[in-house]
Amino acid sequence: MKQRINFDFSGTTTVVTGGSSGIGLATAELIAKSWWDVIVTASRSEEKTQKAVENISKAANEAWKNILVKALPYKAEDEISVKEFFNEVKKISNRLDFLVHGIWISPDTDFDKQTATLWNQVFATNVTWTFLALKNAKDIMKTQDIIDEVRWRIVLITSTNGVDSYGIFSAPYDASKAAMINMVRNIWEDFHKNHQIAVNGIWPGWIATEMNNSVPAEEMNAEMEKVWSKRMATPEEIAKNILAYLTLPYNSWRDHMVDGGYR
């Protein structure tokens, strides 16, 4: 049986939600460099989407490949929009092999100012829409012929916050990430056994993306003292971990922490 070696995406289509920035964008670029089609969710900012598509296409060009690079609208606010997104993926590429899901919000707020509305918003975006992405992706994947061993793969981007909670101000985000970690443990067996889809979770620690620009320097310096290499990881480093989970057939139901030995 043919087994894909690391980072060989030939003949495949990958969807990266949250692929217009940060870890998602780095993952989409690396997949484009690894030779095949990638569809990302459009940012709600048109300019950001355009820039992302340019960067992913540039990555493909560097690999001398003329591949499909597209950004499609996706509102993690409404069930129909998620369905329409996946229907459009099927229409455009006629297949879906890999899903990397990382859409999230974390409106850090003083605990006493947190409201039910805020908690519901965070859980809808980070948890309910993860469920919907899984459901819609599975519906496409399960209808395709198997080419490789455990042909289809899904990686959920969770967080170390889901276990080592960071602070009371990010309680809704941390709890939502714990829910996503649980989702990997819950669904993997059915997805793997009944649909040949491997599901894994990546837990990033401190990563140099926009979300961390607002962390005060003093707090960040103290945090970096707890990391083995005294720095944040780059989004590309996380992307490489994600690609390993997409391409290695023996990986299923793994929680993979990438936190630089944070203690």
Ligand X SMILES: NC(=O)c1ccc[n+]([C@@H]2O[C@H](COP(=O)([O-])OP(=O)(O)OC[C@H]3O[C@@H](n4cnc5c(N)ncnc54)[C@H](OP(=O)(O)O)[C@@H]3O)[C@@H](O)[C@H]2O)c1
Q: Phi, psi at residue 248, to the nearest 5°?
A: -90, 115
DSSP 150: T
Q: Which is nearer to ligand X, 141 or 181 (CB)?
A: 181
Least separation in angstroms between CB 207 and ligand X: 4
Q: Where are the alpha helices (DSSP H) in the chain?
A: 22-33, 46-62, 79-93, 116-123, 129-141, 171-195, 217-224, 235-247
Give the CA dihedral 82, 185, 125, 195, nearest 10 degrees.
Answer: 0
Least separation in angstroms between CB 263 and ligand X: 17
Task: Quote the CA–CA distance of 247 and 5 in Å, as a whole number.
Answer: 7
Q: Which is nearer to ligand X, 42 or 96 (CB)?
A: 42
Least separation in angstroms between CB 47 and ligand X: 10
In which residue are the tokens 């945090």 written?
223
Least separation in angstroms between CB 23 and ligand X: 4
Least separation in angstroms between CB 34 and ligand X: 19
- What is the contact surface with ligand X in residues (CB under 6 A)? 18, 20-24, 41, 43-45, 48, 74-77, 102-105, 125, 157, 159, 204, 206-207, 209-212, 235
Q: Which is nearer to ligand X, 67 or 103 (CB)?
A: 103
Instruction: List residues bridging with 260 in a β-sheet.
Output: none
Question: Which residue of the chain is nearest ligand X when measured via CB?
Answer: 22
Q: Which is nearer to ligand X, 92 or 105 (CB)?
A: 105
Least separation in angstroms between CB 163 and ligand X: 11
Q: Which is nearer to ligand X, 78 or 190 (CB)?
A: 78
HSE-CB for 197 with a 13 A CA cutoff: 27
Q: Which residues touch 86 (CB under 8 Å, ≥6 apart)?
A: 15, 96, 136, 137, 139, 140
DSSP 207: B
Q: Which is nearer to ligand X, 149 or 219 (CB)?
A: 219
